[in-house]
Chain A
């Protein structure tokens, strides 16, 4: 199979007209990233694949409802995230942290704006232990509440621009920044438990 990542972007008009070649191109170009995003919600690889395939199916069948207010891929990711959330709700899985836990993991400042606790130094030797580091980062991300995990995944892991994350999630760019900051600080606190000297 040819390396479709280096090929042209799908033509939106032909895509919306149901051109099979354009749809195949879309599948080839977006499957990997869409799969990664969905798997962060549903955790199981087979289920992630199934939700991803359903996402493409729905995007194709509902393409006449695409309102051209965003990129087609932004709309595709919004469908994928909604389906992934529905799958998580159905199986009643949830992350181990809730909003209060995230609050507790934020830095605290006194009335003078000084931090009430100095962050401990991180041990550089622990930072280079790659297998453990890998596990800790993944577990930390998975423990974040869904809204926070989603912004970390889209913004920090998949490196989508803030404006696109805002369009996918249907929230303001300001809200994306606030969630991202709280999520990173919670993750920093979780990692500090291990990386501290």
Chain B
């Protein structure tokens, strides 16, 4: 870390846990500006409570992705095309 980065870190405003919580969505979507992103990571790096919460929050999203999908019936497309054909839609 060069002297400029050290100075920047020194003068960077310290986030509270509540501030960090409000930035989670934007942090995960990589929408934070560079300074806020660095402040967020600095806070989570030294706050075990926020680090645990961020980890569990990310796990919650992963669980939604992996467990939340409902399987569609296999003949869904064909039955929908039949439904529409019966109403005169989709016929050549």
Which A residues form the contact surface with B (CB < 8 A)?
Answer: 1, 4, 20-21, 23-24, 27-28, 31-32, 35-36, 39-40, 45, 49, 52-53, 56-57, 60, 107, 109, 112-115, 118-119, 121-122, 127, 133-134, 137-138, 141, 152-153, 156-157, 159, 162, 177, 180-181, 184-185, 187-188, 191-192
- Say yes or no: A27 contacts B81, CB within 8 Å: yes
Cα(A121)–Cα(B52), bound, Å:
8
Cα(A187)–Cα(B61), bound, Å:
9
On chain B, the residues within 8 Å of A187 by CB distance are: 60, 64
Cα(A115)–Cα(B51), bound, Å:
13
Question: Contact partner of A49 among B17, B64, B79, CB < 8 A?
Answer: B79
Check: B42 CB closer than 8 A to any chain A CB. Answer: no
Mind listing 25 A-B residue pairs with CB under 8 Å?
A20-B90, A20-B91, A20-B92, A23-B90, A31-B80, A35-B72, A36-B69, A36-B70, A49-B76, A53-B83, A56-B84, A60-B84, A107-B53, A109-B18, A112-B16, A114-B17, A114-B18, A115-B49, A119-B53, A119-B56, A127-B59, A137-B63, A138-B67, A177-B25, A188-B56
On chain A, the residues within 8 Å of B49 by CB distance are: 115, 118-119
Measured CB to CB, the closest approach of chain A to B16, in angstroms, equals 3
Given contacts A39-B70, A181-B25, A188-B60, contact A24 B19 (CB under 8 A): no
From 1 to 46 in chain B, residues with beta carbon under 8 angstroms from any chain A beta carbon are: 16-19, 21, 24-26, 29
Dominant SS among interface residues on chain B: helix
Given contacts A1-B78, A57-B87, A152-B64, contact A40 B56 (CB under 8 A): no
- Say yes or no: B84 contacts A49, CB within 8 Å: no
On chain B, the residues within 8 Å of A27 by CB distance are: 77, 80-81, 84, 90
Task: Name which residue of chain A comes closest to B60, CB basis.
Answer: A188
Most-contacted residue by chain A among B56, B64, B73, B79 (CB, 10 A): B64
- Say yes or no: A40 contacts B90, CB within 8 Å: no
- Say yes or no: B16 contacts A114, CB within 8 Å: yes
- Say yes or no: A119 contacts B52, CB within 8 Å: yes
On chain A, the residues within 8 Å of B91 by CB distance are: 20
On chain A, the residues within 8 Å of B17 by CB distance are: 109, 113-115
Given contacts A23-B89, A114-B17, contact A36 B57 (CB under 8 A): no
On chain B, the residues within 8 Å of A39 by CB distance are: 70
- Say yes or no: A141 contacts B16, CB within 8 Å: no
